[in-house]
């Protein structure tokens, strides 16, 4: 028997029960429940054809067209479902919990699956995702100038059992003009929000959640307003690392990339660097003098970050003066201070 449940009831099972998205491939690509499989009732062309028939000739005609298109494929849908859902239980959704999910739920029910349909479909899920970021949490933000090793410290904190959300990892971008180098393609913003919400809902609200200080946009992904507002009001631990140490870290990080990619990244911020500095940075890259190029570019990023600190809603909880470049040591120092400060 098919069950119909609201997303609030289903949400706690999304990570433990296979989730099947029966929308078209292009709908799925724009955004889907984090971890869901795509098993579409119609492909993109078929969906467009059924929609056209609905508007031209009404519901009955569109249903017949849909049956003509999907009918020969139904047995294959069941075979695919058995591969994707070996345990026989699934959560299923379409766009609004309408005919597509009803038809596929009927099919899978007939094939012996235990099927739960999400009331309101993906549209309800998206509303649930946006609301999830309004839930307050004990955030602690790790800040610092470009090259301070903030991400490495986050990972070191995670290794120590702390709750960490790495926004740059989710966005597949490091947040600067150079941020796409060595990364996968960024997800659509809708999917970024969905994946972020899945991690956000997993956090234990009684414990701190550590995140990196970020601009609201990371590449072309955007941190949801409700979460970003929490971030700017949360305690900030500011890592103070020497300029020389930051240049060494960034030089080792970016020297491995194709110089042409570095030149393109520098060129993208010409207006911010100014013509003379851009020219000097490009000449340094041409001579494989990455340290010099990074020193020039850092002047812009340091100024930008200093400005962002000045307009934060909260002041730094602690400015950690760090001499070496050891993320494990830095993480331990930050943890020790935080526990002492908060206990």
CA distances from 179 to 172, 183, 265, 271 (A): 8, 8, 9, 18
Is-catalytic flag, 94?
Answer: yes
Beta strands (DSSP E) in 145-294 are 163-164, 209-212, 217-218, 221-222, 236-241
How far apart CA 191 and CA 172 sit, in angstroms, is 12
The residue from 94, 129, 296, 333 that is catalytic is 94
Q: What is the DSSP string of 5-66?
A: E-HHHHGGGTTTS-EEE-S-HHHHHH--STT-EE--SS-HHHHHHHHHHHHHH-HHHHHHHH
β pairing state of 316-322 and 236-241:
parallel
**In sequence order, what are the residues at sequence separation of 6 or more whose Cβ sits closer than 8 angstroms to the Cβ of residue 158?**
164, 210
Catalogue the active-site residues.
Answer: 94
């Amino acid at each position: 028997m098919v069950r119909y449940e609201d997303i609030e009831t289903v949400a706690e099972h999304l990570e433990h029960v296979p989730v099947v998205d029966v929308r078209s491939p292009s709908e799925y690509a724009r955004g889907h429940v984090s971890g869901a499989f795509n098993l579409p009732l119609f492909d993109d062309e078929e969906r467009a054809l059924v929609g056209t028939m609905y508007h031209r000739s009404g519901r009955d005609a569109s249903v017949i067209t849909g049956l003509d298109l999907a009918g020969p494929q139904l047995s294959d849908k069941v075979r695919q479902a058995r591969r994707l859902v070996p345990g026989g239980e699934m959560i299923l959704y379409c766009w609004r919990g309408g005919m597509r999910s009803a038809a596929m739920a009927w099919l899978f029910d007939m094939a012996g699956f235990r099927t739960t349909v999400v009331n309101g479909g993906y549209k309800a899920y998206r509303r649930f995702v946006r609301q999830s970021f309004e839930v307050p949490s004990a955030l602690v933000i790790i800040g610092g100038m470009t090259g301070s090793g903030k991400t490495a410290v986050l990972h070191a904190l995670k290794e120590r059992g702390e709750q960490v959300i790495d926004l740059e990892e989710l966005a597949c971008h490091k947040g600067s003009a150079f941020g796409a180098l060595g990364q996968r393609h960024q997800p659509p913003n809708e999917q970024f929000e969905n994946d972020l919400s899945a991690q956000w809902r997993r956090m234990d609200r009684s414990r701190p959640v550590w995140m990196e200080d970020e601009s609201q946009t990371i590449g072309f992904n955007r941190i949801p307003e409700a979460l970003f507002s929490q971030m700017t009001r949360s305690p900030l631990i500011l890592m103070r690392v020497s300029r020389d140490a930051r240049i060494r870290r960034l030089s080792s990080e970016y020297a491995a990339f194709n110089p042409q990619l570095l030149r393109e990244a520098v060129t993208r911020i010409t207006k911010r660097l100014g013509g003379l500095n851009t020219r000097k940075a490009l000449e340094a890259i041409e001579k494989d003098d990455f340290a010099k190029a990074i020193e020039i570019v850092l002047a812009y990023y340091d100024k930008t970050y200093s400005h962002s600190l000045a307009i934060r809603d909260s002041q730094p909880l602690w400015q950690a003066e760090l001499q070496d470049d050891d993320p494990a040591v830095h993480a331990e120092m930050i943890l020790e201070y935080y526990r002492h400060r908060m206990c």
